[in-house]
A and B are shown apart, each in its own frame.
Chain A
Amino acid sequence: MQIYRSHVLICNDSTCAQLDSGKIMEEFGAQLKKNKLENEVKVLTAGCPGMCEQGPVVVVYPEGTVYTMVKPENVKEIVEEHLLKRKIVKRLLHKDMMEEGDTPAKALDDTKYFKKQLRIALRNCGIINPEDINEYIEHDGYKALEKVLTGMTPLEVIDTVKKSGLRGRGGGGFPTGLKWEFAYKSQDDEKYVCCNADEGDPGAFMDRSILEGDPHSIIEAMTIAGYAIGSKQGFIYVRAEYPIAVKRLDIAIQQAKEHGFLGENVLNTGFSFDIELRLGAGAFVCGEETALMTSIEGKRGEPRPRPPFPAVKGLWQKPTLLNNVETYANIPVIILKGPEWFASIGTEKSKGTKVFAIGGKINNTGLIEIPMGTTLREVIFDIGGGIPNGKKFKAAQTGGPSGGCIPASHMDTPIEYDTLVQLGSMMGSGGLIVMDEDTCMVDIAKFFLEFTVDESCGKCPPCRIGTKRMLEILEKITSGKGTEEDIEKLEILANNIKLSALCGLGQTAPNPVLSTLRYFRDEYEAHVKEKKCPAGVCKSMIHYVINEALCKSCGICARNCPVNCISGQRGEPYVIAQEKCIKCGTCMVKCPFKAIFKNV
């Protein structure tokens, strides 16, 4: 095996791939050749280290130097300076890697971004080449499977998972080991193991990152699950919108079979297990477990009532174990390092770590993995780098359209399953959207409701008609036509839909409204009583005015107005015709004298 003195890891996840990481890869090849370094430096495709906003990301080892926002034209400089002359290109460094003064080269793990993180599920993402099974094997890959198949009984495996305290990472947080036990206890000639990779929350991409960066960990975990519950067939239900994930899973399944980790007679133990991919057509509701299984069966993806639970009657009425991607990603490590190790991380009732996709009004957007119990404050201010433009933090939304908003007053609450539910939100799959003072909470509730209305399957009336009526009321309120009675109706609908809807999607659909009503009722009231949007977002309740004293009648506003509603002449202040104004705000941005104001 050839020894290289340096390794260059280039992220080739969906985000970075869109930003030309392929070209960067080629350029590295060319530049290394040109400098005769091709036998000293190895260039590798890797999964995602998480800093998606800063992509494309290039990491140079052994230093662990992280270059961000790299463009193909920067490659020459990195090769000539860093790899040839061993001088770090400070200009391209990740901003957290610069220390006080001018000495760079803090290790990646010491940056603020990574310091409070603990990567278990994401352990291999950004470190190994996901298309090469040997790299996974070098990083302890398939050792857990070997350990299970050669030295553990199914019950011992289940007991290990139970003892670890691992809970479902896809939404509700049901104890994983218990789920495995139920599936184990259901007697049938056929059983199935399913992986829910139908990640659908707006802005969430935790599962995609794992599938793209470490597909073998899912295959290994599912095979372990198959052994534990007594199943021979697995299905991964993955979104068709994740083409890279699908491709890498395909490659990984193929390689695993070739290496004897999957298929007939796994590792010569007599145990057989196979995995098939099923592509989802983009319906959010297919992330709900019963709808997912219905979809795998080839039918219209709609939930069905539970019980019977999948562990008793799932796919084709057979006992079925269903976990999500991140849950599975934890399994091999738990097996190898032991349940006690895993249970030592996190809080009393929420063990291990959780991956979040942080976005919205925050400086460092991207993917992070934190121990359970980390506070929202740490996530937003330490890892996330705070709110841009010196704005105030207002709330964080977790759990996607099923979750709720957590206000600034609860920022020090530790993040764990039960505390989030108590706050009216939920862990969900890990979307975390940060909102600053310029966010209208009624508008946010409307945004999520629009999503749910769009994604309702239409089976039960509370969701099909109820969420639509809620959205109509929110539209009325945000357009300045709401009444106090509307808020009341909104609450009646929300509370009843929560109790009556058929599936989890419908039952949690009112959460964004309920949680904003709980913490920001004054904003709703301002909309209906005073016809004001305090955050200045709802267009029907704001208007732009030109301050006569400040206006220099330059006419720039009028020239930039897309609907020609500003008029005036030299020497006189300009005027906005309010009835024509579409409230786009262009004039205010363009005015060189800051003479235009938004009135709330």
Chain B
Amino acid sequence: MKMVNIKIDGKELQVPENYTILEAARQANISIPTLCYLKGINEIGACRMCIVEVKGSRSFQAACVYPVSEGLEVRTQSPAIREARKVTLELILSNHDRSCLTCVRSRTCELQKLAEELNIKDIRFNGEMQRKPMDDFSPSIVRDPNKCILCRRCVSMCKNIQKVAAIDTVERGFDTIVSPIYNLSLNEVPCVTCGQCINVCPVGALREKDSTEIVWDALANKDLHLVVQTAPAVRVALGEEFGMPIGTRVTGKMVAALKQLGFAKVFDTDTAADLTILEEGTELINRIKEGGKLPLITSCSPGWIKFCEHFYPEFLDNLSTCKSPHEMFGALLKSYYAEKMGIDPAKMFVVSVMPCTAKKFERQRPELASTGYPDVDAVLTTRELARMIREAGIDFKSLPDETFDDPMGEATGAGVIFGATGGVMEAALRTVADILTGKSNEDIEYTEVRGIEGIKEAKIKIGDLELKAAVAHGLGNARKLLDRIKSGKADYHFVEIMACPGGCVNGGGQPIQISEVRSVVDISKERAKAIYEEDRDMPIRKSHENPQVQKLYKEYLGEPGSHKAHELLHTHYAPRESYPDIP
């Protein structure tokens, strides 16, 4: 990369020519406030907080989008710049619902932080405030337009990254709001409930639909047998809510906290992930052997499933019929476990702690009730669990490590890696390779399907078969991959798709990291690193070697793909309405 010489606040710098002023300033440890900017996702220069003085320019320029060039001279601080930033921030605040004390983002709000940093003591320019009704009809996402500051990160995320475009800016001028088309509810448009919009929102305008009250009520109900299961991605992120570094593994503390909260049993969804691999692996082998519909596409990510139903109904037959792991687990808890423990399934309450908001939508699908009762009764996101732990006064950091309960507390490394993009693929490959070759393979780390590249492809030699696989994460990448398959430009045996960029570690229910952090840390990568460490530390790393899963088949299900397995562990899909055409 060609370097250019520039001057920021008198400091002479040499920076790559493709840098913006903001990037150059950060390299020189000069801090410029930002608000709408989110690296790689929203770089539109809209909020005017990062304005700087560029020599020769009449007005101030947005540092986040202004490209550097040879000889560029910039000032990031002056009384005029400070005043202009203050005026703009006061204007934003003058039209912002400032009920900060009761806001879900009270400690993590970027607007609050900025107001503090810019030393805002008074709002000089008060006036009419936008008042729009709250949209809480979606089972996953709550939208509060009165807190929205129109930074458009959510719009960029939904439209440009996820290519769903459920929301956009509508109306103009002071009346502008971010909304689904025709001011409909998110529930009435093809929102896939992935919740990525929540993760990028700098304020409290987007949040998950709260389930903590339901769970508190259930915990207080002595007639209920309350069990909880936790997804793999939760354990590598929950610690962030308590100030621990990104990528800290807190599996033991998490289990301890859940026990302290009063759950009768704490289970590991990873066990069901292992089960998924056996069911899905069998499905894959059968389809390959019997000439079934290929590629087989994974079905663990409910945001992806909803996306497929809305936008790619022609691929519904490609989807694995496997329920997502926590739904499998729920069905088994209310059948196998209930029978074994002698509990009336009607008196059971299954809570799933998930990195995901789409699981909230998934939970209430009518077909996911194999025992006549919903497989899962409540879904908590990682953030909601953290809130409950705080509310219960639990000192999370000093908790001792505890272990998951039996039965079905044992999991494998294969189950753990479900949390990162490529993980389901890798877990499946570990099992499929052993089944097809009839031996236990030593080489089980399929690094070609790991990593943050949007679409990953691999050809894996298993015995006589060269298995063609592809992995996509983020729905924009899914679109690209599906279009390639549709047009015949690519063909695969097996495809993994996760709705969220980075996979479940970066799910819509995970702890929120602000723009400043996301500019320097790839949170998906750090959390995924922890996932793979967890995998490496597991004594068993292949799903089919999970003794509890083996026992389950022996005692209850028979074999993978059996009638009973189908009854409890499999589901079906149906096309949903979509927009006519999204570019």
Chain A residues engaging chain B, CB cutoff 8 angstroms: 283, 298, 300, 304-305, 307-308, 453-462, 464-466, 468-469, 472, 489, 492-493, 496, 498-502, 507
Contacts and interface: CB of A to CB of B under 8 A. Distances in A.
Given A461-B91, A496-B88, 11 more contacts: A308-B67, A455-B172, A458-B176, A459-B44, A459-B46, A459-B176, A461-B47, A464-B176, A465-B94, A493-B87, A507-B58
Interface in B474-499: none
22 contacts: A300-B168, A300-B169, A305-B62, A307-B66, A453-B174, A456-B173, A458-B171, A458-B173, A458-B176, A459-B44, A459-B176, A461-B92, A465-B174, A466-B87, A469-B94, A469-B127, A472-B127, A499-B60, A499-B84, A500-B59, A501-B59, A502-B45
B122 interface: no
Nearest to A456: B173
Of A462, A492, A500, the most chain B CB neighbours within 10 A belong to A500
Interface in B453-475: none
Contacts of B92: 461, 465
Given A469-B94, A489-B125, A492-B124, A464 B62 contact: no
Contact of B59 (A468, A493, A499): A499
B436 interface: no
A458 B94 CA distance: 15
A489 B173 CA distance: 21
Chain B's interface: helix, strand, loop or mixed, by majority? loop
Q: Lowest 9 CB-CB distances: which A-B pairs, in order? A: A458-B176, A456-B173, A305-B45, A465-B91, A496-B87, A468-B174, A472-B127, A469-B125, A500-B84
Contacts of A469: 91, 94, 125, 127
Most buried by A among B46, B80, B84, B149: B46
A521 B48 CA distance: 30
A507 B60 CA distance: 10
Interface string B182-223: 000000000000000000000000000000000000000000
A458 B44 CA distance: 13
B412 interface: no
A457 B44 CA distance: 14
Interface string B55-91: 0001111100111000000000000100110011001
B316 interface: no
A468 B92 CA distance: 12
Contacts of B30: none
Interface in B263-313: none
Nearest to A458: B176
A500 B127 contact: no
Given A307-B67, A489-B124, A498 B87 contact: no
B391 interface: no
Given A307-B67, A308-B67, A468-B173, A502 B62 contact: yes
Contacts of A498: 59
Nearest to A472: B127
Given A300-B169, A453-B173, A465 B95 contact: yes
B442 interface: no
A460 B46 contact: yes
A42 B193 CA distance: 70
Interface string B11-52: 000000000000000000000000000000000111110010
| Most chain B CB atoms below 10 A, which of A283, A455, A462, A498 | A462
B166 to A, nearest CB: 16
Contact of A456 (B46, B51, B149, B174): B174
Contacts of A460: 46-48
Contacts of B47: 460-461
A462 B48 contact: yes
